[in-house]
Every structure is written in C-alpha cells, then in structure tokens.
C-alpha cells in the first residue's frame, strides 16, 4: 500500500517539530495494516468514505483509494482537533 499526502498535510508537517512529525507518521503507517490500527472513525456528512485518525490533540483526515490495482492511503488533511473540522 502506498501513502500519498495532500499539499495541506505536507504544509502542516513541515511546521511541526521532528518528534511530533515522527509520532504522526508512525500513526499513519499503522493505517496500512490489515485491519488498520489506531483510534479511527468514519466521518459523518461526507460521501467519499473519509475517516479520521486521532493522535493526541491532532486529527488526520484520510481515505483509501485504488489506482490501477494499487491500494493508496490518501492523507487529506492534518490539524489540531479544534481547527480541522472547520
């Protein structure tokens, strides 16, 4: 499984300390397991099957895609819990 990041999620990671980035990337890597590991939930009000992963006070919005028979974990956005849902 491949992992792709949106421009917004890359910008967020570039602003964070290295220790925080490593914690977030470790949590994202666990989403590639079968079954995915972590505090995940399906997001209400969206029709594209996006989900959220909770890592401390951060939220990672993601969804799974298939491109030419390759499964892709697409990270849509990463942010603080108060700001990410706006």
pLDDT in tens, 39-68: 999 999 888 889 999 999 999 999 999 888
Flag whether pLDDT at 85 surpasses 80: no
In a domain? residue 24: yes
Tell which wins on pLDDT, 1 or 78. Answer: 78
Strands (E), 9-69: 39-42, 51-55, 58-67
Whole-Å CA distances, 39 to 33, 49, 55, 70: 13, 16, 8, 25
In a domain? residue 50: yes
Structural domain tally of the chain? 1
The pLDDT score that the predictor gives to residue 31 is: 93
CATH number at residue 74: 3.30.2310.20
């Amino acid at each position: 499984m491949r992992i792709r990041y949106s421009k917004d999620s890359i910008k967020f990671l570039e602003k964070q300390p290295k220790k925080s980035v490593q914690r977030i990337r470790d949590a994202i890597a666990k989403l590639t397991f079968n079954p995915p590991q972590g505090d995940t939930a399906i997001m209400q009000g969206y029709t594209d099957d996006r989900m959220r992963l909770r890592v401390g006070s951060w939220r990672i919005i993601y969804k799974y895609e298939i491109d030419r028979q390759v499964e892709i974990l697409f990270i849509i956005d990463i942010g603080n819990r108060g700001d990410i849902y706006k």
